[in-house]
Amino acid sequence: MSRHITLAAFLVTLAVVVPAAWQAPDADIPTDGPALRPKQGTLHTGGATISVDLDRGVLMSGGRLKVALVGTADTARKIALDVRAMQDNGMGAERVENPPTEISRRRIIIEAAPGGGKPTELAFDLKPWGMKAGRMQWYDIDVTPAGKRGDDVSYYDGEDAPATAAKVGAAVWGGNNLAMTLEAPASIPAGAESFNVKLHVKNTAKKPISYVDIKLGGPSINYGPMEGLSFYDEDNYDIEQVEQTAQADEAEAADDDGAIAPGAECVYEYKVTPKQPDAAKLGLLVQAHATVVVDEAKDKYLYLGAMEAITVNRAPGEAPAPATTAGLTAPTAHAAAAK
């Protein structure tokens, strides 16, 4: 069953009539979240090195996040650890990070062994209370030696001592309320250096969308309270803007300042250059936010957002098979999130 991919970007493309033969790629956050994830975390304690891996970097609200821990040591030994799911609470006054909220805690014993012991897996069900469509919440999985935290541990390798704690995180998405679709290749040949994706943003609100802010990247994702999602890892894709246009029959739909008129659609195009020459599957994540001014005098605005994941396959010897997603996720009529 084809599934629409609602995404966004700050880049753009000329409008294109999609051939009827194109197929919708089988992609969405639950399916393609595992293709996007943070880098492995590592800590050192009790004569062992502990690796921390998440099974995905993005999931829907109410989804399950799994973490795998593997201990490596010169001789077999048991290591006690505290593993906590921590909700990030963003920035406070004067750009000071608010303390995170502990959602769940587990104390576990893992078996460290030469070459790596048997993996220990934990699962956390993440369902943020009161989470709305168009909003994202970040969670960190925090791993420390049992009974230690705060000033007792370090999350960074230093010149004199390695990290004694690890933190890896994932994004939880509340669902889309911004209408977007994506065109992307279903597959690319092994020798292809790059491929293009096109993002369609439609304004289903009754007033203009004043601005669309878009992030596109992967496969590694990270987060900061100030910058939000980031794709700064050295292994992430090079993303290049191509151009931006409105639909052919709505040439005036998108103003020079990026506004999109009610009922109009704007198309964005990116050139994506992978840095993983041997990767068989290329995961992409897109996050977009848009603002509709409901009543500026009364400080009322409608905040819309969309996020989706997609996987593009490398198919040796095959020509690219274009695909397009179908369907739009419209903002809820009453979502005029007036503040």
Taking only the tens place, the pLDDT of each residue in 84-127 is 999 999 888 878 889 999 999 999 999 999 999 999 999 999 98
41-45: strand order across its sheet: 41-45, 48-54, 63-73, 120-126
- Phi/psi region, residue 130 (left: phi>0; alpha: psi -120 to 50; beta: rest), is left
Cα-flanking dihedrals φ and ψ of residue 67, to 5°?
A: -125, 135
Quote the DSSP letter at residue 285. Answer: E
Q: Which domains does the chain have, with CATH numbers?
A: 38-173 (2.60.40.1930), 175-324 (2.60.40.10)
Pairing of strands 222-224, 166-173: unpaired
181 has pLDDT over 90 = no
- The model's pLDDT over 13-45, given as tens digits with 9 standing for 90+, comes to 223 333 322 233 334 899 888 999 899 999 999
pLDDT in tens, 147-160: 998 889 999 998 88
Residue 282 CB neighbours (<10 A): 22
Q: State residue 321's pLDDT score.
A: 45
pLDDT reading at 191 higher than 60: yes
Longest dimension (CA), the chain: 71
Cα–Cα distance for residue pair 227/272, rounded to 1 Å = 22
Q: What is the mean pLDDT of residues 179-198?
A: 88
| More reliable by pLDDT, 82 or 189 | 82
Q: What's this model's pTM, rounded to 2 decimal places?
A: 0.81
